Amino acid sequence: MESPARSLSRGLAEHVEAVCKYYLSNGSRSGNYWIVGDVNNHAGRSLYVRLKGPLYGKGARGKWTDGSTGEHGDLLDLIAAREGLGSFKDTLDEARRFLRAPRMPPPELHDGRSSERGTVALARKIWAASRPIAGTPAEAYLRARKISADLDAACLRYHPALFYRERADLPSRRLPALVAAVTNHSGEVTGVHRTFLNPTRKDKARVSSPRRSLGAILGNGVRFGKIKDVVLVGEGIETVLSLKCALPSLPMVAALSAGHLAAWEFAPSLRRLIIACDNDDAGQSAARRLRERAGAVDVDARMISSLRTDFNSDLRATSPYALRSRVAAFLGCDRSDLDK
């Protein structure tokens, strides 16, 4: 016979998005995840809750992780932390109260794999419909941010008119976008990351969330170069491309957020890892978490943090030469070695 806790956990998982909207109202949906600052419902992007997946086991919907603190659990754990409940009985009572009046119709009762396949298929369709970045507004946007790295990468494209919806209750509109392919270690496209662009200026679109992901993102990333025994992993695409200005030959991966950085999956051949973290609590905590995971599998990991908000801020405030010098000092080599 199923235990009350397991039954309630399953019931909450069936209503996972409703749970997130009610208890974590300052967050928002991003692909297959609900993203928010922490269990206390602060704004941010450190904590992520899986919205798709089976009801039980690996990759189950409702599982959550905070990339800053390493905390994780299911929806019962989340409710207990969010409401400050001191006993397991109080947590179960709160779950029962919520489930008596769910805030939205329950999703389809299946294992969620078909839904995830659907988002991956849509991401691949967007990728196939996009075109090379050279000579497009996407290239102009990156160049305006002082990124001089080679953009002739297989992972970057441009789409002139992707659908963007601010909120579910507002109509969609079309915006140009920088499109990046998210891939796994086999090179398969598992998702896309879109940076929506301003149609009239070399800047991001003036919308609430100009960066959005679609598909299976967790554990994967936007790859610049083939990973062998060493790789640099950072959060954003612009952070990684800024470091590409200093280390053009080093393979790099953009994990796309602090939470995803902490959960990035190691390549089987990896022996050395350079973690480039943003200069904030979420970024540095996620980097420490990734370094701990690397140590557990005998991967030599080192962290380097930006001096300002992120490495693109460093690049724009100083120069490629200054950034190259700092990276060279961190790696213990001469600047000329970075060109090799």
pLDDT per residue over 64-85, tens digit each? 988 777 788 999 999 988 887 8
Q: Say if CB 8 and CB 96 are below 8 A apart.
A: yes
Task: Decide if 107 is inside a domain.
Answer: no
Task: Decide if 265 is inside a domain.
Answer: yes
Q: Which domain holds residue 31?
A: 4-100
Distance CA 182, CA 90 (A): 41
CA 332 from chain center: how many Å? Answer: 30
Roughly what angle, to the nearest 10 degrees, separates helices 16-23 and 75-83?
10
* Angle, CA 283 vertex, CA 281 and CA 288 arms, to 5°: 95
Are residues 278 and 167 both part of a single domain? yes
Q: Render pLDDT for 91-101 as a digit per residue (tens, 0 to 9).
A: 898 898 888 85
Share of the chain above pLDDT 70, in %: 90
Query: What global pTM score does this model have?
Result: 0.71
Task: Decide if 150 is inside a domain.
Answer: yes
Distance CA 196, CA 210 (A): 5
Task: Decide if 106 is inside a domain.
Answer: no
* Angle, CA 12 vertex, CA 103 and CA 111 arms, to 5°: 110
Q: Which residues contact 128 (CB under 8 A, 6 or more apart)?
A: none
Are residues 122 and 258 both part of a single domain? yes
Q: Which of 49, 39, 43, 46 has the alpha carbon at shortest distance from 18? A: 49
pLDDT at residue 42 above 90? no
Q: Sorting pLDDT into bands at 50, 70 and 90, what band is 169?
A: low
Give the lowest-confidence range in 81-85, 145-149, 182-186: 81-85
Which CATH number do you get for residue 62?
A: 3.90.580
Q: Say if CB 313 and CB 243 are below 8 A apart.
A: no
